[in-house]
Amino acid sequence: MAVTPHASAPRPALRQGYRTSWVAHLTPRPDAEIRLFCFGAAGAGASVWRHLAAHVSTRVEVVPVQLPGREARRREPFVTDVHELVDQLAAAIEPLLDRPFALMGHSLGGLIAYELASELSRFGQAPERLIVLGTPAPHLPRSRPSVHDRGEQALRDYLERMSGTPGAVLETTWLFNMYAPLLRADLKAFETYVHGKQAPLPCPITCWGGDDDPHVGLELLEPWEQHTNDEIELDLWRGNHFFTKGRDAELGQRLSAML
């Protein structure tokens, strides 16, 4: 993959009419100084970021990334390998890297954002910052049993422990059956991920977690410091694994100050 540095000739951009299925719920800001690509947790679509743009500085263009198999792309096959997904992503968003950018991801989305940052950095196009939310450091072994290949009750128990799935999905059989294949696919991507021992990133990393997250505690967040040659910011928010849910205003304020 060839990636063009910021200083070279401009490439096609969103404000010039570029369209891709990988971006959804976009609020275009042609004069923004930085783009923030956002990746959701397992089972989530780009719509989880749809309100964030209203709460960040106008200097930031929020770019919610839509992965295959969900929302408007629900008829497309799932991609259950993080590295394969990043290969597709890097090619898809290359025309949008005509200005400084940052990458932010929650849980599985944090792993995807990290691998994308590593891939782009290899070609001289590092992000200004990587922001990971509730994501274990990528080199750590997965300590809990896998869920993606277990029965329905195990999947339901997992969702209840994580406290991020609407009650209607858990209580309505047809909704649960519709949602389960997507969640299993994303959990497979997360649970079978293997770190490739990439070089530390040349950009700073912001690492946020929930102080009541049952699965991702400080011991899994602090080792992110091994993955940057720059500074790292580590902070715990009040809440569980989905600590930013319903807090777009606070998230937007902190992102605006940072970016």
What would the DSSP string read from start to end of 126-176? --S-EEEES---TTSPP-SPP-TTS-HHHHHHHHHHHT-S-HHHHH-HHHH
Active-site residue among 57, 107, 121, 163? Answer: 107
Structure tokens at 173: 């059989």
pLDDT at residue 100, rounded to an integer: 97
Task: Say if 181 falls within a structural domain.
Answer: no
Task: Say if 154 falls within a structural domain.
Answer: no
Task: Say if 100 falls within a structural domain.
Answer: yes
Domain that holds residue 21: 15-141+194-258
Task: Say if 77 falls within a structural domain.
Answer: yes
Task: Say if 153 falls within a structural domain.
Answer: no
Task: Say if 188 falls within a structural domain.
Answer: no
- Mean pLDDT is lowest, of 54-63, 158-167, 200-209, for 158-167
Task: Say if 180 falls within a structural domain.
Answer: no
Could you give the number of structural domains in the chain? 1
Question: Do the beta carbons of residue 165 and residue 159 sit within 8 Å?
Answer: yes
- Mean pLDDT is lowest, of 22-26, 63-67, 105-109, 194-198, for 194-198
Task: Say if 179 falls within a structural domain.
Answer: no
Question: Do the beta carbons of residue 239 and residue 212 sit within 8 Å?
Answer: yes
pTM of the shown model: 0.89
121 belongs to the catalytic site: no
- Mean pLDDT is lowest, of 3-7, 93-97, 224-228, for 3-7
CATH of the domain at 64: 3.40.50.1820
Q: What is the mean pLDDT of residues 173-187?
A: 84
d(CA 221, CA 207): 7
